[in-house]
Amino acid sequence: MLPLPFELASLLRETDGVTNEYGDAVVWSVRRLVEDNLAMRVEPDYLELYAPFDEMIFFGDSDMGPQFAYVHTDYGPGIVVWDHETDRRRLVVVSLRDYLARCFIQGNAWFR
């Protein structure tokens, strides 16, 4: 698993997660971040249905189902949106600041 990115660790030191006006966990609490990431790597259903999550750190979601995770690209860290129905993973932004701005300014479907 990747190390926790500095910008995410810094945010989590100040808040234990971030929710939008609808109560969606834009950034999960530390507890959920740890529990969900561990579960996704050991639960048999996840291991059978999806490509490995070894190079991803999930940290937030949308009310529409997709989840967001840090990945490391050839150009540095990035944030992908993961669709659990198709297992599609697509780079959407390169920083937590950009991710949060889009979540709060553009709304829940910004990543589509």
Does the pLDDT at position 107 exceed 70? yes
pTM across the whole model: 0.91
Q: What is the pLDDT of residues 14-62, one digit of tens each?
A: 999 999 988 889 999 999 999 999 999 999 999 999 999 988 999 999 8
Q: What is the 3-state secondary structure (H, E, C) of the chain?
A: CCCCCHHHHHHHHHCCCEECCCCCEEECCHHHHHHHHHHHHHCHHHHHHCCCCCCCEEEEECCCCCEEEEEEECCEEEEEEEECCCCEEEEEECCHHHHHHHHHHCCCCCCC
Q: What is the pLDDT of residues 27-36, one digit of tens each?
A: 999 999 999 9
